[in-house]
Amino acid sequence: QLWGRGPLGMAIAEAGRARGGMEGGGFRTSSCASSAAPNDWENPRVTSINRCEPHVLLRSHASHRDALEYWGARTERTRALARRVADVCAQGSVLGEGEFYLPGDVDLRSQTEGLDSVTDEGELGTPPSIPKAVGNNVLSLDGEWRFGLFPSPSEAPDGFQRPGFDDAGFDNIRIPSNWQCQGQWDRPHYTNFEYPFEVDPPRVPRDNPTGCYRVGFEVPRGWSKGRVVLRFGGVDSAFYCWLNGSLLGYAQDSKLPSEFDASAALRHDGANVLAVLVLKWCDGTYLEDQDHWWLSGIFRGVTLYTKPTPSLFDYSVRTPLDFDESGGLKSASMEVDAVVHAGVAHEITGRSLKLSLHEVSARGEVSPSPVASPKPTPFVAGKWRPHVAGLPSVAAVGRASAREGGLEGKISLWSAETPRVYVLVLELVGESGECEDCESCLVGFRASRLKGGRLLVNERPVKMRGVNRHEHDPRSGKAIGEVSMVFDAVLMKQANFNAVRCSHYPNRYDWYELCALLGLYVVDEPNLETHGFDPALTRNEENPCNNPEWAAAILERGSRMAAMHRNHPAVVVWSLGNEAGYGPAIAAMAGWVRDFDPTRPIQYEGGGSRTSSTDIICPMYARVHQILRVVTKGDEDRPVVLCEYAHSMGNSTGNLHKYWRAFLENEGLQGGFIWDWVDQGIEGPEGGYLYGGDFGDDPNDAQFCLNGLVSPDRVPHPAVAECKHLQAPASFSLEEEPWGTVIVIRNLDYFTRLDNLRLKWQVFENGIAQDGEASRGEIQVAGRVAPQQELRISCPVAWSDDTDHGLDLQLTLYQEEPTLWAPRNFVVNEKSLMLKRQSPEAKDPPPLPKSSTPVVCEEEAGVLSVRVGPVAVEFSRSTGEVTRWRYAGEDVVVPGAGGPTLNLFRACTDNDRGGAFGTNFASRWARAGLLDLRAGEVEVTGAGAGPGAVEVTVRSVLRPAIPWEDDGQEDLAGDPNEVGGIHWFGRDEDAEEVEVVEAVEGRQVEEEKAGEASVRVVARYTITACGLDARYEVDLDPLARTLSCRGRTAPSLPRVGVKLEVPATFGQLEWLWGGPPEGYPDRKG
């Protein structure tokens, strides 16, 4: 029996028709007769039924006073949470508290008792709450609901939507939540871009897990006088909802709110029952193929709010700014357009829009006195009876526009460096001036535009020190809470990030407000990705953006996002989605967004990062020489901002300094967004973090979801220290002037004069801090360095020409006073500068000291033995290896093959394994046989090397122990691309000149050396009474073409090093390099 012909399906269809739902709104399966309409959830043309048209968030204040009280309590709570979180996250990064770097031992769980509820404060204490009296027109339905999960829609119980349904067989579930994260329903499923079911759009599997939710509630007294709206913050993936048995509607797009008019079905004098049916899969799933877990359910909050008739329905706020040639503010104004809904046109007559703008002080207090309060503007009713989606009772729409100029001198501009915000209160007032309806929002005076090939924020070409952020909690999946968001924002600020990309969907509404309060630029992105249709970028025509059936659904995802988020000051760039190909639907979205909101530029990487639909060239994982070529060729008038780079999976984020050198030296290169912020591990039932495949989910992409800068519980990985240093607001260097050495402090900010910062200096000799006033001090820098300018200060310590002593000057930049994101004395940046002149050319290390100690050389049974005083070394004639090394009768290395031995391999990292079609590093190394190289053609010779010294020379050829067997990867290999698969910019013909290495390396691979996979080695060992000196000459040219992916990338070796195996009796290790964070040659900022 086909579901949809049963009682539940027919009830939905009848209720839909009765409520004005579109025909075909019932449940019908695509396997019915050809005359039957497809299911709503398998029809790209049906994205909603009875859903209200998009608008900004409505708070439904009772009065102007209530609005100010709400924002006063809201900002106080946010600031209290932020400062307490900042104290936790800053452990180890405050002067006097040990090493000055982001710690690796901050356990967020022990601090918050969990992330998924705003009430989980734990050791953070109890932050101020928002009074119940504020927002009395809004009712949250979050909490315990009744829930049942069924294998498919056809197995959902008939009549479960009716108030009298017996749900004793259901369980309790907490809302908001993903049902897979509740421990007993379904299982999480992770894929990167592969769909978790057979691709057959728009159809989805018949086995489509279906959640049935029920909750009872009562509304406050007084709600009967107006319209009542039901708001779902986010539901994955599609859902129907009923109130008291009446169908309210249907909706898709899991990452934006959906609202329904509940007025007619609501009972004001007793219990109400809300029922929701959620489908795991729908046709919209094909548009939501983001690299993340597939999780389902009501994962954002559910609320009811009431509005009077008439009432404010929507409004837009613009802050036009005019600057002089030097970038100074000439004029500032505020423009507001508002929409009012009414039952009849005459209700609009005589009503006006009243505005007041209130400053939020540096302490978070909302001033009761307005900065601006323009004269009320009358609403004018439209000529025609409108059709308002989802609101059949609305028969008249009125509009009003207001403008207040001359605000220069009265307001401060918003930027990530100076996040000054205001509260705008909008009132619908009657003829006598009384407030009939009230709304509010945060406002920041900020301009974002393109000019002269630059992305300008308030006329300054800011660098995006950005990171991509998924909404993720290790326990609750995508049902994140307030504390989680505060931790993310505070940690980003402490690591000197100034921008975040909402990858790859709209975030919770209050995330944008948090970014405005703390100071983070936002790239807002619609819930659109179809990567699985064309992962190799060879069949773009397969993408839904080229199919007219999907055009409206795709456009709607961008238009609804812009309509809902257009007033957020932190949003400086709109995105059109991620990895969704390129076609007419994308071009249509670009046109719609540009016309709807000309105050912000847009970006989109799909189609090559350089189509006409993007204002910003925003490639993924483009290499440094590729982005340099874009800005140096002179044929582009658009800035370059990498939407993803520095893939931070596992032990990674190296060579970041090369990108930042390019960013800082080229105005057209304006930064990028690291991939990504948080490891998306899910906490297992026995602790620990699980990834793809750990839940029996198949297909899966294993640990590819663990590519963040911080762990799932927000503990920073070592690479965060590198990001913090390279993205710091100030840099340090030493330079020689005719009068002596100077410290050069460069302000890398664009709007501040290094306010609230001091510089501490300390002299170290051989790593030990020196005592005395001449060896340490402080320098006041706050207010002394203009944006993008330098301060040159005489170095308080003279340079040293003594090569036997290492003198270092450590400079530490720290905050004098606390901020929202960091406590007092928080270290913003530090660097050690060498106080001795360096040789212009690198030299070999000095040889071991020699003496007149007698030398003994012996040969027996294929072993060459050398003794010089207490040092005894044995060499194998057959392998050339050091088989024994002793000092004073004790083994220095394990006898046999303890080394030292030349080592050209190491364990592969996650990023080594990334890449398409055998082009990744691990595949190349395996093809070259580096995993197990064996010596052949060995020649061992010994000779005197002066008094008390012997030099043993070992010549050999290293070849793979097991020859590589071609399994077809050579034939499959396409263009070499970056981690995780192929990306458009790597296919750009202009960027794919056969230039094997980056311009800075300048080395070509010669075709005639692309043959035998062998490595010729000359090892020279010098033995003296002081020890063993080993030096290696290695000819790697025969490997170069294999290691360079057949000449199309820079050759890469896993390691050039020495391996030693020491006896177990050794128990102490002295580290003679940098630290304390982990460091590597490409990550030592």
Q: Looking at 430-505, which runs of residues are DSSP E strands?
A: 435-443, 448-451, 454-457, 464-469, 499-502
Distance CA 557, CA 524 (A): 12
Instruction: Dig out the tokens for 95 from the structure.
Output: 């002067």
What distance, in Å, lies between the first and last C-alpha atoms of the chain? 66
Distance CA 671, CA 676 (A): 15
Is 529 an annotated catalytic residue? no
Three-class SS of residue 948? coil
Distance CA 369, CA 449 (A): 32
Cβ atoms of residues 436 and 60 within 8 Å: no
User: What sign does the dihedral 199-204-207-213 (CA atoms) show?
Assistant: positive
Cβ atoms of residues 280 and 209 within 8 Å: yes
35: left (phi over 0), alpha (psi -120 to 50) or beta: alpha
**CB half-sphere exposure, 829, CA atoms < 13 A:** 23
Please identify which of the residues 579, 722, 874, 978 carries the catalytic annotation. 579
Instruction: Dig out the tokens for 314 from the structure.
Output: 């929507």
**Omega of the bond prior to 900 within 30 degrees of 0, cis?**
yes
Is 113 an annotated catalytic residue? no
| Cα separation values, 589 from 528, 597, 617, Å | 12, 12, 17
The label of the residue with tokens 């046709």 reads 283
Give buried/exposed letters for 749-760 (b at 16+ CB in 10 A, else e). bbbbbbbbbbbb
| Cα separation values, 858 from 772, 986, 1006, Å | 56, 58, 44
Distance CA 560, CA 254 (A): 12
Question: Please, which residues bridge with residue 380 across strands?
Answer: 399
Instruction: Dig out the tokens for 1018 from the structure.
Output: 């000359």
Please identify which of the residues 529, 644, 830, 874 carries the catalytic annotation. 644
692: left (phi over 0), alpha (psi -120 to 50) or beta: beta
String of DSSP letters for 677-701: SB---EE-TTSSEE-TTTTS-SS--
Query: Could you tell me what percentage of the chain is helix, strand and coil, using 3-state DSSP and rounding each to the nearest 5?
Result: 20, 30, 50
Distance CA 105, CA 693 (A): 28
Side chain identity, residue 1011: G
Q: Looking at 195-345, which runs of residues are DSSP E strands?
A: 210-217, 227-232, 235-236, 238-243, 246-251, 258-261, 272-279, 292-294, 297-298, 302-307, 311-318, 321-323, 329-332, 334-342
Cβ atoms of residues 181 and 475 within 8 Å: yes
Q: Which residues contact 685 (CB under 8 A, 6 or more apart)?
A: 183
Three-class SS of residue 993? coil
- 826 secondary structure, DSSP code: B
Cβ atoms of residues 55 and 229 within 8 Å: no
| Cα separation values, 284 from 18, 289, 557, 830, 927, Å | 26, 10, 10, 48, 42
Distance CA 809, CA 876 (A): 47
Instruction: Dig out the tokens for 693 from the structure.
Output: 């495949």
Distance CA 62, CA 307 (A): 10
Active site residues: 579, 644
